[in-house]
Amino acid sequence: MGSPSGHEAFDYAIEWRLIPAGTAKLSWAALPGSGSGGTASEIRLHLESAGLVSRLFRVSDDYTAALGQNLCAQSTFLSAHEGNRSKETRVVFDARTHKAGYVEKDLVKNSTVNHEIEIPPCVHDVLGALLVLRNLKLEPGKTAQIPLSDGKKFVQAKVESQRREEIRTDLGTFKTIRYEVFIFNNVLFKRSGHLHIWLTDDDWRLPVQLQVHFQIAIGTITFQLEKQEK
C-alpha cells in the first residue's frame, strides 16, 4: 500500500445535506529512515468546516496516528475544536503489555478523563483501518474483520464488500467497489449510523468517496475526492 515514494495525500470536499460543508485533507507517509518499504509510517487528517456549517457549528480538527509494522497503531493524537468544545485526546497502544492508554483533556472545563483497556498485540485505529482495507482487496460478497480500537473500546469490526459502482467526481468517473464498515450502532461508537467507503477497482485502491449516514437529526455527510498527490 502507498505510492512508490512512500507518500500519498488526498483532498476531499465535504457535503452535508447537499450543501458544501468543508474540506478534509488525508495524508500518509513513510517515516524518515524507513523508506517506501519500511514499517514505520504516519497518517494525518485535517478537517475544516466552511460556509453555513461554520456559522452553525465551526469544526477544526487535527488527527495524527503513528503506525508500526503491518499498520498496527502505536499512538494517536486528536486536537478537536468543535463549536464551543475544545479537547485533546491521546492514545498509546502498547503491544508488549497488550494495553491501550487513553487520556482526554477538556481544555474548556479543565478536566481530564483516563481509560485503560486490554488489546491484542496488533490493533488498528480508524484511519489505519482504512489503509488495511485498501490492502484486503475484498471482492463483492466477501467479508473480513479488522481489529479496531479508539482507546476506550476494542472490537473486531466487520467489513463487507457490497458491490461495484461508478462514482462521478470532479476528477472524473471511477470504477469502484463499495464497502460498508460496521463501527456504529454500539459497535465501536454508540451512535446509530452507517459508514460506506468507495475504493477504486484497480491496484491503487484509491479512496474516492466516504459517506457517513446518521439518523434524520444529522443526515448524510459525504467526503468526495477532489485532489490526489503521490
Domain boundaries, the chain: 7-229
Partners of 120 in the β-ladder: none
Global pTM? 0.91
Distance CA 197, CA 222 (A): 10
Amino acid at 77: F
Condensed to tens digits (0 to 9), the pLDDT of residues 89-100 reads 999 999 999 999
The set of cell numbers assigned to 56 is 452553525
CA distances from 199 to 38, 54, 175, 177, 225 (A): 24, 29, 8, 6, 11
Question: HSE (CB half, 13 Å, CA atoms) of 154?
Answer: 19
Q: Does domain 7-229 have CATH number 2.50.20?
A: yes
Name the residue with cell 517506501.
36
Condensed to tens digits (0 to 9), the pLDDT of residues 155-205 reads 999 999 999 999 999 899 999 999 999 999 999 999 999 999 999 999 999
Name the residue with cell 480538527.
61
Distance CA 65, CA 150 (A): 11
The candidate with the shortest Cα–Cα distance to 194, out of 169, 159, 163, is: 159
What pLDDT, on the 0 to 100 scale, is given for residue 155? 97
The set of cell numbers assigned to 183 is 463501527
